[in-house]
Amino acid sequence: MKRDRLDLLNGLRQRRLDACRLQLASVSQCEGVLESRLRELARAARSILEEQRQAVGAGGVDVGCVAECRRRRQKVQGALGLLARRRALVDEVAGLARTNLEEAVRQVEVIEKLSERVSG
C-alpha cells in the first residue's frame, strides 16, 4: 500500500477516534446531568415526606396538606420513572460509545503498524 494512502487512512481513522472520544465525553456529561437530577428528586421526596409527617403530627391531621403531599409525591415518583428510563438509554449509548472508541483505537493502532512496516 502506498504511503500517501496510509497517511490519508490514518488521518481519517484519527478523526474517527477523536469523534468517538467526543461522543463518550458527551454521554458522560449526560450521565452527570441525570445523576444531579436524581439527587434533586431524592431531596424533594424527603422534603415531601417530612412535610407529610408534620401534617399528621400531634394535634390532628391536615387533610388538605396530606392530599397535596400525596399528589406531589406521585409527581416525583413519575419523574423518577422517566429518569430511570432515560438512564437506561444513556447507559446503552455509553456502552455503544465505549465499544466504538475501542474499535477506533484498534483501527488506528493497525494503521500505525502498517505505516511502520511500509516505512521500515
Domain boundaries, given as residue ranges, for the chain? 3-119
Torsion-angle region of 27 (φ positive above 0: left; ψ -120 to 50: alpha; else: beta): alpha
Look at 114 and 20; give whichever has higher pLDDT: 20
C-alpha to C-alpha distance for 105 and 97, rounded to whole angstroms? 12
Could you report the per-residue pLDDT of 2-44, keeping only the tens digit for each?
A: 888 888 999 999 999 999 999 999 999 999 999 999 999 999 9
Topology adopted by domain 3-119: Helix Hairpins (1.10.287)
Confidence of residue 79 (pLDDT cuts 50, 70, 90): very high
